[in-house]
């Protein structure tokens, strides 16, 4: 089933159901029932034309604010149940919209009265308890910092007894201080030939609070900039989830009411933040970052390059699946405060009621797409499982051989190695002295060894020569290459070569 026109270097195709538009002069409009999109910078433009059937789009993400989105395009997206998000590369959510469903007045009224009904405190306790549990797991199993993990666990134990939302906020902030302090010295690696262009403060995670703003906004280094953008994707998914359930995304319980902020969406994303942290942590501890993915503004703000944001946007559906059960639990907690709930709460996001009725197993969200694997020397894209590209592997192998030789020479001069070498030389000298030439068979002469036995030893494994003679691997390799050993070994080598008195 075709999803769009054939993909070319200048075309746009859905990646994991996500289409991301970046650059300047962005356009999204409808022509003869097809959605036409365009993006790019300067003369480097990309285009795509999507039909109503088989387009494969679940989310349209626009990064930046330079361009045009027509009303017909918004209607096309609504008809196709496609969510729309407009983000900045610094992690700010500008606009989010998704499939529109009628809301239940009783549910919204219960949400508005959550602080007086006690639901707000109950929800806050649950959300922060789950968040701290996730942070404890990240600290213990990803950062391998049991001290920090134990401290977070102690803060988590205080949450159920918190008698007010402000108290729970204080507990959460103290746990966050311990949590992010464990990240501060985490090294950030770049390919070797890019290091001269990498600022010094980019080579570690540093503080979660930016020195430019005193808050996480306007990150000053790559890992924090990545985290801000991933959190922006998560926030947009949380807002879509709240709206799909008929809740007001701006009326929160944990986060205080603030103009131009969806407080409930921020509440919902708290539980999923540790999952985003774990994704980033797995990335930066196993792979290198590419200097070309980032640029530094004149004030020191680290921003993400457009192609890199496209790759990160592919994770949006993953965070949507992760936040869905949280949003449904919160909506159910609001719904339970009604005096007479006249119907079971609809699980529109997870379809949990349908699976329960059919006794079907719970669905599990797939893992987030992994980052690109970069060569540690030059930064080129390489296959998963490799460390360097072909060119850098040669240079690295030479360095490793030199280092191994140096370490080998040092190891050979240790007292233990010298003692072992002296014992071996003594043992072989005694064996030569004890050997009696008259015990050698008459047919096993020097001429026979050179003519018949020695040529066949090149086909015998070094390990077989070594184990049969009781010599070192180096000495066995020399024999295999043509070195003539002491005559006491000729009989053993004749048997390995398949030579006997019968010829």
CATH code of 45's domain: 3.100.10.20
- Tell me whether strands 294-296 and 302-304 are parallel, antiparallel or unpaired: antiparallel
Question: Alpha carbon of 469 to those of 227, 418, 479, 488: distances in Å?
Answer: 61, 22, 11, 10
Instruction: Give the span between the Cα atoms of 120 and 205, in whole angstroms.
Output: 34
Same domain, 79 and 113: no
Residue 113 tokens read as: 């009265």
Give the domain extent around 138.
105-358
pLDDT of the residue at 195? 94
Residue 459 pLDDT: 86
Q: Rounded to whole angstroms, how far apart are CA atoms 486 and 484?
A: 7
Are 243 and 305 found together in one domain? yes
Reported in sequence order, the residue ranges of 70-112 that DSSP labels E, i.e. its strands, are 83-87, 93-97
Residues 345, 332: Cα–Cα separation, whole Å? 6
Q: What secondary structure letter does DSSP report for 256?
A: P
Question: How far apart are the C-alpha atoms of 473 and 481, rounded to whole Å?
Answer: 12
pLDDT of residue 169: 96
443 in a structural domain: yes
Dihedral of the alpha carbons of 388, 394, 399, 403, in degrees to the nearest 10: 90
> Do 83 and 110 reside in the same domain of the chain?
no
Contact 244, 105 (CB under 8 A): no
- Is residue 12 included in any domain, yes or no? no
Question: Which residues of the chain fall short of a pLDDT of 50?
Answer: 1-7, 357, 363-365
CA–CA separation, 456 and 464 (whole Å): 13
Domain count, the chain: 3
- 182 in Cβ contact with 188 (< 8 Å): no
The answer for residues whose C-beta is within 8 angstroms of residue 25's C-beta and 6 or more apart is 38, 39, 40, 45, 66, 67
Residues 170, 290 share a domain: yes
My answer on whether 183 and 229 are in the same domain is yes
Question: Of 313, 333, 358, which one is at a domain's C-terminal end?
Answer: 358
Summarised one tens digit per residue, pLDDT across range 432-453 is 788 788 778 888 888 888 888 8
Is residue 338 located within the same domain as residue 195? yes
Closest CA to 35 of 9, 81, 70, 86: 70
pLDDT, residue 372, reads 75
**479 and 457 Cβ atoms separated by less than 8 Å:** yes
Angle in degrees, CA 317, 322, 323, rounded to 5 = 100
Phi, psi of 262 (to 5 degrees): -90, 90
186 and 230 part of one domain: yes
Q: Is residue 390 part of a domain?
A: no
Residue 265 near residue 111 (C-beta atoms within 8 A): no
Report pLDDT for 5: 43
């Amino acid at each position: 089933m075709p999803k769009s026109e054939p993909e070319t270097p200048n075309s746009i195709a859905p990646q994991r159901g996500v289409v991301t538009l970046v650059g300047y002069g962005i356009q999204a409009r409808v022509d003869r029932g097809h959605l036409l999109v365009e993006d790019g910078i300067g003369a480097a433009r990309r285009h795509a034309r999507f039909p109503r059937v088989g387009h494969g789009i679940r989310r349209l993400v626009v990064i930046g604010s330079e361009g045009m989105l027509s009303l017909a395009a918004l209607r096309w997206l609504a008809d196709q149940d496609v969510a729309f998000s407009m983000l900045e590369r610094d992690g700010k959510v500008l606009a989010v919209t998704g499939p529109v469903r009628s809301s239940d007045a009783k549910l919204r009224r219960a949400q508005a009265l959550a602080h007086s009904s006690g639901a707000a405190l109950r929800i806050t306790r649950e959300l922060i308890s789950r968040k701290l549990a996730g942070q404890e797991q990240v600290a213990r199993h990803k950062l391998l910092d049991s001290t920090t993990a134990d401290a977070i666990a102690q803060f988590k134990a205080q949450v159920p007894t918190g008698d007010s939302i402000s108290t729970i906020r204080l507990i959460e902030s103290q746990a966050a201080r311990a949590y992010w302090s464990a990240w501060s010295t985490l090294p950030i690696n770049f390919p070797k030939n890019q290091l001269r262009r990498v600022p010094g403060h980019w080579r570690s995670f540093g503080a979660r609070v930016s020195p430019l703003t005193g808050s996480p906004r306007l990150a000053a280094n790559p890992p924090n900039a990545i985290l801000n953008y991933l959190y922006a994707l998560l926030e947009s998914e949380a807002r879509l989830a709240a709206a799909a359930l008929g809740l007001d995304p701006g009326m929160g319980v944990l986060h205080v009411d603030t103009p131009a902020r969806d407080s409930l969406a921020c509440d919902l994303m708290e539980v999923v933040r540790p999952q985003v942290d774990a994704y980033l942590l797995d990335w930066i501890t196993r792979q290198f970052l590419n200097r070309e993915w980032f640029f530094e503004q004149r004030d020191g703000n680290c921003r993400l390059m457009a192609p890199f944001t496209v790759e990160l946007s592919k994770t949006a559906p993953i965070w949507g699946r992760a936040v869905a059960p949280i949003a449904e639990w919160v909506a159910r907690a609001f719904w339970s405060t009604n005096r007479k709930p006249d119907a079971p709460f609809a699980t529109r996001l997870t379809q949990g009621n349908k699976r329960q009725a059919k006794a079907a197993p719970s669905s599990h969200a797939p893992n987030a797409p992994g980052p690109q694997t970069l060569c540690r020397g030059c930064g080129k894209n390489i296959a998963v499982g490799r460390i360097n590209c072909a060119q850098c592997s040669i240079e690295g192998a030479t360095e490793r051989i030199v280092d191994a030789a140096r370490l080998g020479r040092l190891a050979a001069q240790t007292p233990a190695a010298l003692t072992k070498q002296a014992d071996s030389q003594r043992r072989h000298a005694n064996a030569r002295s004890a050997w009696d030439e008259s015990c050698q068979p008459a047919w096993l002469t020097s001429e026979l060894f050179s003519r018949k036995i020695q040529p066949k030893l090149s086909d015998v494994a070094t390990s077989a020569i070594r184990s049969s003679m009781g010599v070192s691997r180096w000495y066995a390799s020399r024999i295999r290459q043509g070195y003539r050993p002491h005559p006491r070994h000729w009989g053993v080598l004749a048997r390995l070569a398949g030579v006997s008195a019968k010829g």
